[in-house]
Amino acid sequence: MNISHVGEFGLIEALKKYAPVSKNVFKGIGDDAAVLPFSKDKYLLFTTDMLAEDAHFTRRMKAEAIGHKAMACSISDIAAMGGLPTFAVVSIGLPKLTPVDFVRNIYKGMARVSKQFNVNIVGGDTVKSDKIVINVALLGQVEKEYLVTRSGAKPKDWIFVSGHLGGSLASGRHLTFIPRVAQARFLVQYFKPNAMMDISDGLAGDLNHILRMSKVGAKLWEETIPRHKGATLKQALNDGEDFELLFTLPAAKARRLMQWQAGRKAFYFYPIGEITANAEQIIPSKGHAHF
């Protein structure tokens, strides 16, 4: 059996037993970020994301945009847990003939989005590799009362997304997206979702992560799923790399959110379905698969 038989998440499951955690770890493998002890009132969040040339970007793309994406992916993970990003280390593998200006511009893109979200890049590593590989490891903090994970969805919760979906790769939005930190902080402070994550591998696939971890099912209201202009329903469900928030709210909170945002322009959250008690009711997915 090889990796292509088990896939990315099958591989992760197989490797979990080699990453035991102590009782001090609040949450380890399986969410957008690890949740670690920090202080009386806060948790430390720790996440990492790796981008590989010809899988997540190509040399034909602007180097600054590649850097933006590399850092923004990890910032999005911290947002999905309800937290704020703080410190990053960046490791990069480079072919020896890579132009120095190209690498400099990758870091320029990372620096720009880091400044926007108050992230300090405090170190990293460089190695020779056959293709460009960028890994960002990012710390964040979240108040214990605001932490949201993937495993809290309850039957009759409404399912929401924070923006339009589909066509991210074809349009180039996957290189320019803005992590939904402000939206996530608003939600955890005023509505406290039961479950939340960001959409990186496609709405259908990522929703199934919430369903499996929460031991629930879902039904989608397909006509309400917001789509970018020109995107089909299939693309909205499966394309991935939208980096919008996907979250669930109890029905009463969901109706209050809908009332709050009526006529407002600050944020808008789109109801797209409902959580069910039937754990077998998953959403067919043809989203991105690394293997």
Q: What is the pLDDT along the chain (291 residues), one digit of tens a residue?
A: 776 655 665 666 666 666 667 788 888 888 999 999 999 999 999 999 999 999 999 999 999 999 999 999 999 999 999 999 999 999 999 999 999 999 999 999 999 999 999 999 999 999 999 999 999 999 999 999 999 999 999 999 999 999 999 999 999 999 999 999 999 999 999 999 999 999 999 999 999 999 999 999 999 999 999 999 999 999 999 999 999 999 999 999 999 999 999 877 788 999 999 999 998 878 876 655 554
Supply the pLDDT for residue 206.
95
Supply the pLDDT for residue 3.
65
* Domain end point (choices 121, 145, 169): 145
Give whole-number Cα distances, 103 to 50, 132, 232, in Å. Answer: 16, 10, 36
Q: Nearest-CA neighbor of 240 among 185, 166, 164, 189?
A: 166
Contact 3, 291 (CB under 8 A): yes
Q: Give the pTM.
A: 0.92
Give whole-number Cα distances, 20 to 16, 24, 30, 45, 69, in Å. Answer: 7, 12, 13, 18, 31
Which CATH number covers residue 231?
3.90.650.10
Note whether residue 282 is domain-resident: no
C-alpha to C-alpha distance for 251 and 22, rounded to whole angstroms: 36
User: What are the two backbone dihedrals, phi and then psi, of residue 290, each rounded to the nearest 5 degrees?
Assistant: -65, -30
pLDDT tens digits, residue range 122-161?
A: 999 999 999 999 999 999 999 999 999 999 999 999 999 9
Supply the pLDDT for residue 282.
81
Taking residue 286's Cβ as centre, other Cβ atoms within 10 Å add up to: 12
CA of residue 255 relative to chain centroid, distance: 25
Supply the pLDDT for residue 7.
61
* Domain end point (choices 115, 145, 175): 145
* Domain end point (choices 145, 175, 201): 145
Note whether 49 and 32 are same-domain residues.
yes
C-alpha to C-alpha distance for 53 and 76, rounded to whole angstroms: 20
Rg value, the chain, Cα: 19
Domain extent for 251: 148-276
Q: Nearest-CA neighbor of 78 among 41, 43, 122, 125?
A: 43
Supply the pLDDT for residue 21.
73
Note whether 160 and 119 are same-domain residues.
no
Angle at the Cα of 98 (from 135 to 137), degrees rounded to 5? 10
Note whether 135 and 153 are same-domain residues.
no
Burial 52-61 (b: 16+ CB within 10 A, else e): ebeebbeeee
Q: How many residues comprise the chain?
A: 291
